[in-house]
Amino acid sequence: MDICEYNALKVEDNQLKITEANCSGCGGCQSVCSYNALNIPGFAKAQISAQIQSLVKQKRESPLIIAFLCNWCSYVGADLAGTSKLSYPTNIRTIHVMCAVIIDPSLIFESLFYGIDGILIAGCHPQDCHYNNGFIRAQNRFKSISEMLAEVGINKKRVRITSISAGEGEKFVR
């Protein structure tokens, strides 16, 4: 099973076995589990979904943009933007995730369905990814998401992916 590059998951006797000692906590497995059986504590799909729905209920500005920010780089970059007192639009709301690889198509479509106008998925630069290939895997998934958006007639420019390092607060602002 190659959904986990850390060999934390394997199938034995038709059952999924999890070797917790090998798990890095990136969430890559969670994003491909259609049964929602795999969850990263604090970052479960249901928790991310609840944050999306909460943002929609509070929608006061338009266009409303959600930025899914990885824990290790882009979230810290956004924090740097704030602590550096850089100004950025007030219509951007952040959702903290462990890694960009945790974002699956259903979260993107749910966001758009509930009225989010734009989505940014931001992770580490590929060579700096805390989870080795997490951002590269997220980019590969994003290609599929873009194709799905086009197939259902949603402007794929409403969703984008980029890398933002911990020291790139100015890039987050742009």
Task: Kindly report, residue by residue over 113-160, the tens digit of the pLDDT.
Answer: 999 999 999 999 999 999 999 999 999 999 999 999 999 999 999 999
Structure tokens at 127: 């060579």
Question: How much is the pLDDT for 116?
Answer: 95
**Rounded Cα–Cα distance for residues 85 and 80 (Å):** 8
Is 24 contained in some domain? no
Domain count, the chain: 1
Q: Residue 54 sits in which domain range? A: 40-173
List, for residues 60-108, the tens digit of each pLDDT value. 888 999 999 999 999 999 999 999 999 988 999 999 999 999 999 999 9
**Rounded Cα–Cα distance for residues 15 and 149 (Å):** 34
Contacts of 143 (CB under 8 A, 6+ apart): none
Is 84 contained in some domain? yes
Helices 134-151 and 105-113 pack at an angle, to 10 degrees, of 50
List, for residues 11-22, the tens digit of each pLDDT value. 889 888 999 999
Q: What is the CATH number of the domain that holds 161?
A: 3.40.50
Is 7 contained in some domain? no
Is 146 contained in some domain? yes
Give the model's confidence band at 52: pLDDT under 50 very low, under 70 low, under 90 confident, else very high: very high
pTM (2 d.p.): 0.93
Give the model's confidence band at 168: pLDDT under 50 very low, under 70 low, under 90 confident, else very high: very high
H-state helical runs in 84-154 = 105-113, 134-151
Q: Is the pLDDT of residue 1 over 60?
A: no
User: Residue 164: beta bridge partners?
Assistant: none
